């Protein structure tokens, strides 16, 4: 298999979970993956780190074909327990991290008149569940940003995609999620794994589309939440089993 021969793919949040798996998968398919995370010296909240990594990548490889904005953190708290500092820190990574990366790569892709930007949002961006309001808001912002950007840069030959995964429990996400106040953790139906998400990302990198929702039932939830939000509320109340309350 060699679906991305010589393609230069910058992946943020690549030290664990989806990002680490994407790095391995793109490399296995012939791409040159450039992994970025705080542990490799690229904190996406710091514009200077992002600019430096993009400049080094272009200097080394002469181009940059795909940017995957995957770095993200969680926050679980009832809204009244949510601290503004935590909410701002979350937006700094989940939304403004993507902002910095897109601004850094756009001139390169515009010069090339080619490129693909893939933003990893979440089903939570169009379907809120209790105690994740700020995380959901950051992903909703990323989805809206992606839609606008796609229209703006189409004329430059640049594709822009939003990937919205549902809950996958086999990443470091929970361990990296701050929790405040009495929270109930909800188990979302279905068993999504990192492999499935990574496969979806590689497929859309090969054949760009506007939005990908994995698993596919997420598309139904999105439609239902648009046209029958009260029915979705009733469904979620019934089917999201309440786990033990954490202090």
Ligand X SMILES: NC(=O)c1ccc[n+]([C@@H]2O[C@H](COP(=O)([O-])OP(=O)(O)OC[C@H]3O[C@@H](n4cnc5c(N)ncnc54)[C@H](OP(=O)(O)O)[C@@H]3O)[C@@H](O)[C@H]2O)c1
Distance (Å, whole) CA 200 – CA 135 = 22
Q: Which is nearer to ligand X, 44 or 67 (CB)?
A: 44
Number of other residues whose CB lies within 10 A of the CB of residue 191: 13
Distance (Å, whole) CA 59 – CA 63 = 8
Q: How many residues bind ligand X (CB under 6 A)?
A: 29
Q: Which of 165, 201, 213, 215 binds ligand X (CB under 6 A)?
A: 165
- Span 76-115, contacts to ligand X by CB under 6 A: 93, 97
- Nearby residues of 104 by Cβ (< 8 Å), 6 or more positions away: 47, 50, 51, 54
The answer to whether residue 17 forms part of the interface with ligand X (CB under 6 A) is yes
Q: Which of 10, 23, 58, 70 binds ligand X (CB under 6 A)?
A: 70
Q: Is 135 a known active-site residue? A: yes
Q: Smallest distance, Å, CB 93 to ligand X? A: 5
Q: Which is nearer to ligand X, 44 or 221 (CB)?
A: 44
The answer to whether residue 38 forms part of the interface with ligand X (CB under 6 A) is yes
Range in contact with ligand X (rule: CB under 6 A) among 41-49, 108-116, 219-227, 236-244: 41-49
Q: Can you read off the two tokens belonging to residue 142?
A: 């990323």
The answer to whether residue 179 forms part of the interface with ligand X (CB under 6 A) is no
The answer to whether residue 133 forms part of the interface with ligand X (CB under 6 A) is no
The answer to whether residue 15 forms part of the interface with ligand X (CB under 6 A) is yes
Closest CA to 119 of 76, 149, 75, 82: 149
Number of other residues whose CB lies within 10 A of the CB of residue 178: 14
| 187 contacts 97 by C-beta, under 8 angstroms | no
The answer to whether residue 39 forms part of the interface with ligand X (CB under 6 A) is yes
Distance (Å, whole) CA 78 – CA 99 = 27
- Span 42-61, contacts to ligand X by CB under 6 A: 43-45
The answer to whether residue 18 forms part of the interface with ligand X (CB under 6 A) is yes
Q: Which is nearer to ligand X, 62 or 147 (CB)?
A: 147
- Segments in the chain forming alpha helices (H): 17-28, 47-61, 84-94, 96-112, 133-153, 194-206, 217-227, 229-239
Q: Which is nearer to ligand X, 58 or 138 (CB)?
A: 138
Q: Smallest distance, Å, CB 123 to ligand X? A: 7
Distance (Å, whole) CA 44 – CA 59 = 20
Distance (Å, whole) CA 23 – CA 40 = 14
Distance (Å, whole) CA 94 – CA 99 = 9
Q: Smallest distance, Å, CB 111 to ligand X? A: 25
The answer to whether residue 176 forms part of the interface with ligand X (CB under 6 A) is yes
Catalytic residues: 135
Applying CB under 6 A, the residues found at the interface with ligand X are: 12-19, 37-39, 43-45, 70-73, 93, 97, 120, 122, 165, 167-168, 171-173, 176
């Amino acid at each position: 298999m060699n679906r991305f021969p010589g393609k230069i793919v910058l992946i943020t949040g690549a030290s664990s979970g989806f990002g680490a798996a994407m790095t391995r998968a793109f490399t296995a398919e012939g791409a040159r993956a450039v992994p970025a995370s705080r542990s490799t010296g690229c904190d996406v909240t710091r514009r200077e780190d992002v600019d430096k990594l993009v400049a080094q990548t272009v200097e080394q490889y002469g181009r940059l074909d795909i940017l995957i904005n995957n770095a993200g953190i969680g926050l679980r708290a009832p809204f009244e327990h949510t601290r503004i500092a935590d909410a701002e820190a979350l937006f700094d990574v989940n939304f403004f991290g993507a902002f910095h990366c897109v601004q850094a790569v756009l001139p390169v892709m515009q010069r090339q008149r080619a490129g693909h930007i893939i933003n990893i949002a979440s089903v939570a961006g169009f379907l809120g569940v209790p105690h994740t309001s700020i995380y959901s808001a950051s992903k909703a912002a990323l989805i809206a940003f992606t839609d606008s950007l796609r229209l703006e840069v189409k004329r430059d030959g640049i594709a822009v995609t939003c990937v919205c995964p549902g809950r996958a429990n086999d990443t470091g996400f929970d361990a990296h999620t701050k929790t405040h106040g009495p929270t109930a953790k909800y188990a979302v139906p279905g068993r999504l794994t990192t492999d499935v998400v990574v496969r979806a990302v590689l497929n859309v990198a090969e054949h760009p589309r506007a939005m990908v929702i994995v698993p596919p039932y997420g598309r139904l939830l999105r439609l239902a939440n648009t046209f029958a939000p009260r029915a979705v509320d009733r469904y979620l109340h019934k089917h999201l089993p309440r786990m033990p309350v954490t202090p």
